[in-house]
Amino acid sequence: MARSGGASSSSGVEIPACGPGQHRGRLHVVTPSSTGRAAQPQIRRLALVGNPNVGKSVIFGALTGTYTTVSNYPGTTVEVARAAARADAAVEVIDTPGVNSLTPNSEDERVTRDILLTGVDCVVQVADAKNLSRALVVTLQLAEAGLPFVLVLNMMDEAADRGMHIDTVALALALGVPVVETIAIRGHGLGMLQQALSRAAVSHQRARYPAAIERALLRIERLLAGFDVGPRWLAMLCLCGDDTLRPWLAQHVPAPALATIEDAHRDVQAQLHGHASYQVSRARVRVAEELARGVTSYSGTDAPVAALHTRRQAAVALGALLGCLCLLAGDFGLIPDAASGWLRVAAWLGVGFAGVSAYRSAEMRAALGRWAAQRRTGVGVLLVVLYLVYRFVGVFAAGTGVTFLEHTVFGGYINPAVTGVIDRGIAAFGQLSPWGATVAHGVRNLFVGPYGLVTVALTYAFAIILPIVTAFFIAFSLLEDSGYLPRLAVIVNRVFRGMGLNGKAVLPMILGLGCDTMATLTARIMETRKERVLVTLLLALGVPCSAQLGVILGLFGALPLWAPLVWISVVLGVLFAVGFLAARLLPGERSDLILEVPPIRRPQLGNVLIKTLGRLEWYLKEAVPIFVLGTLVLFVLDATGVLARIVAAGEPAVVGLLQLPPRAAEAFLIGFFRRDYGSAGIYALFQQGALTPVQAVVALVTITLFVPCVANFFIIVKEHGWRTAVAMSAFIFPFAFAVGGAVNLGLRAVGLP
């Protein structure tokens, strides 16, 4: 049965709120005459569709009775719940998996697409009212699919808390379908939803695509008429290169028509240089955002501001930028000593002025939010953020915190006190036999020797890493709580597009900055095994985890400014080169990154403190025992003479190729346990004056690209098997040393110290 939709003048009718306790629920009905087509006279199959986590299951529970069948969708592991409607047992209600698009990018989205393809009489689209534009992207696709639907704006209370007011009458008129406001979790508005089902209608709203796509749509739409869903949607799936539709098309469309469709797809790909799905997504997002903007108003402090270019905003941006540039120039030694002090004060005043303005003014936060996500300004904001994090973690925490804890607390009090207690304990035994003296010497070394639990494990954990990771966790929590991370993902996504990588690869990479082990698990969101392996390889190769990044930043605080610039250039260059090469070797359709971008918020002190404490608690529980274990292993290896042999075996690479002192091999060895532990070893060597700045950079580059830590290795084994994990390590190990060697040669060639 072919369906057609067409726009006509709309008229809206508002039905007042339903019964007691449901005062928040409102239904805006557009009469059937105002839409392209009236609802099905009789509903037999009703599907709930919507983005993930919008409350579909709660509404499903409200619409159905107690007898729910949950089963895997045929051929998949995706669960789909079905049940008879509470109001009419003859109606089957289907709770589909959450989607961000009906052009499938995941198995969940494929299942939802298939359910719609097999024919439903009515759709209830559940939307998170706070994220209206994200929901409207799906609405536009339901409109193209020609399916009668009702739009449910759920979580209206949370939208109101954010100062959002949605004009649902205007939205119902713009879409030509009933719009119902609900707070499903409290049961508000669900009565109205029941009433609206009989008025479900096909929306006349359409996104306009680039001319090449519109021409191709016209060409193939007529070949796809006569099905339960609209030909425009089917045609769009074909043009976007949805390969999973091929079996269905082969079954339902004659071969000559299929050939024409293939031709049209190829033409569009050629004209748009392979970016058809990207252009389609952009067009939909543009229309959805326009629609959402037109019906949404704000009150209170979170109101976004349309105009950015006020003098105040320009002054704030200029203040922050000039401040950072002055500090940077000071770090490079470009400012004469006499002027340095005053300029530093002025620079910090500029940065502080920008920070206070952003904290106090909603307008500034809105402007900052847009700058952070925009193509031209986003990289500038990212550089300012990175520089400030470096100053806080690398200069302040590593300089002041580590010096105090390592030299004053551990060096001045704890280590001498423990050494004194042990020495007094040994002395209490009086004259010892040769065997007893050996044992006493071993016990002393176990605690306060060169690989002692106190002098190495606890000193590294508490004096070197703890102050640095504390500062890093504070900075990370501030960024999290301010809403900057999704914007970072948007900017990184652009870089990844440049590499030719799938947009979905962005999330594991961002998450890898927290923990590579956890991020390796998220590589599952990639479509093919090749993509999953590639993302895992990139994670293991060049994405430092939060603790390692903190220690590296800490060491940079003591190095000249060229050191972090070289390190970041080399690591990004390696990632870019491997990603670029791999993307050429692994061709395939790129998918888009769909992420809700919240407004920039004032970080809440309580949130930042609690999250930092939570992370520190985790660090102390997980990392410190591994430090103790690693030090014990070193102690045993040293006592048995194996360590000397390992150091000797590693000399050709460590001393010959990297030109590092032999003891650096120990840092690489303990890097197997945890990468931050290895980095702390390099930090300690630098502090002892055993490394020059060039050697420190070479060692840091090598350990950043070094083999994954034990936890990450085992998760790679679990995800990809022993062969892949060993092959990956076998590639990374010599590669890291080769890059380190090249950096060493390059830096020495330009005459750096």
Partner 1 sequence: MNAPYQTEGEILCPLCGTRYSEAEGRACHLECPLHDHCGRLSCPYCAHEMPAPTALTRWLSRRWFSKKREH
Residues interacting with partner 1, by CB under 8 A?
Answer: 52-53, 131, 480-481, 483, 485-486, 489, 507-508, 510-511, 514-515, 517-519, 521-522, 525, 595-596, 598, 601, 604, 606-607, 609-611, 613-615, 617-618, 621-622, 711, 714-715, 718
Nearer Cβ to partner 1 (398/715): 715
User: Nearest Cα to 128, choosing from 94, 154, 98, 100?
Assistant: 154
Instruction: Give the integer Cα–Cα distance in Å for 469 and 482.
Output: 19
List 47's β-bridge partners, or say none: 94, 123
**Please, what is the minimum distance in Å from the beta carbon of residue 524 to partner 1?**
9
Residue type, 391: R
Nearer Cβ to partner 1 (444/601): 601
DSSP-derived 3-state class of residue 273: coil
**Please, what is the minimum distance in Å from the beta carbon of residue 242 to partner 1?**
23
Instruction: Give the integer Cα–Cα distance in Å for 529 and 693.
Output: 41
Residues 440-466 as b/e (b if ≥16 CB within 10 A, e otherwise) read beeebbbbbbebbbbbbbbbbbbbbbb
Nearer Cβ to partner 1 (378/483): 483
**Please, what is the minimum distance in Å from the beta carbon of residue 607 to partner 1?**
5
Instruction: Give the integer Cα–Cα distance in Å for 375 and 359.
Output: 24
**Please, what is the minimum distance in Å from the beta carbon of residue 509 to partner 1?**
12
Contacts of 610 (CB under 8 A, 6+ apart): none
Nearer Cβ to partner 1 (570/623): 623
**Please, what is the minimum distance in Å from the beta carbon of residue 714 to partner 1?**
6
Nearer Cβ to partner 1 (36/378): 378
**Please, what is the minimum distance in Å from the beta carbon of residue 518 to partner 1?**
5
Nearer Cβ to partner 1 (493/744): 493
**Please, what is the minimum distance in Å from the beta carbon of residue 513 to partner 1?**
10
Instruction: Give the integer Cα–Cα distance in Å for 555 and 688.
Output: 13
Nearer Cβ to partner 1 (265/675): 675
Nearer Cβ to partner 1 (361/607): 607
Contacts of 89 (CB under 8 A, 6+ apart): 65
- Residue 508 · residue 535 · CB < 8 Å: yes
**Please, what is the minimum distance in Å from the beta carbon of residue 596 to partner 1?**
4
15, two tokens:
């039905």
Instruction: Give the integer Cα–Cα distance in Å for 574 and 578.
Output: 6
DSSP-derived 3-state class of residue 272: coil
- Residue 203 · residue 291 · CB < 8 Å: no
Nearer Cβ to partner 1 (412/614): 614
List 30's β-bridge partners, or say none: 12
Instruction: Give the integer Cα–Cα distance in Å for 95 and 80.
Output: 6
List 298's β-bridge partners, or say none: 164
- Residue 347 · residue 326 · CB < 8 Å: yes
Q: What 8-state DSSP symbol labels residue 334?
A: -
**Please, what is the minimum distance in Å from the beta carbon of residue 381 to partner 1?**
17
Q: What angle do CA 699, 678, 543 make, to 5 degrees?
A: 75
Q: What 8-state DSSP symbol labels residue 188?
A: B
The pairing of strands 92-95 and 149-154 is unpaired
DSSP-derived 3-state class of residue 731: helix
Nearer Cβ to partner 1 (139/520): 520
Q: What are phi and psi of 483, to 5 degrees?
A: 85, 20
Q: 3-class secondary structure for 482-517?
A: HCCHHHHHHHHHHHHHHHCCCHHHHHHHHHHCCCHH
**Please, what is the minimum distance in Å from the beta carbon of residue 352 to partner 1?**
25
**Please, what is the minimum distance in Å from the beta carbon of residue 610 to partner 1?**
5
Nearer Cβ to partner 1 (594/655): 594
Q: How far apart are the first and last CA of the chain?
A: 77
**Please, what is the minimum distance in Å from the beta carbon of residue 56 to partner 1?**
14
**Please, what is the minimum distance in Å from the beta carbon of residue 372 to partner 1?**
14
**Please, what is the minimum distance in Å from the beta carbon of residue 517 to partner 1?**
7
**Please, what is the minimum distance in Å from the beta carbon of residue 479 to partner 1?**
9
Nearer Cβ to partner 1 (34/100): 100
- Residue 471 · residue 393 · CB < 8 Å: yes
Nearer Cβ to partner 1 (51/125): 51
List 49's β-bridge partners, or say none: 125
Nearer Cβ to partner 1 (50/178): 50
Cβ of 740: how many Cβ atoms within 10 Å? 27
3-state helix, strand, coil in the chain (%, to 5): 65, 10, 25
Q: Where do we find the tokens 């640095």? A: 468
Nearer Cβ to partner 1 (299/604): 604
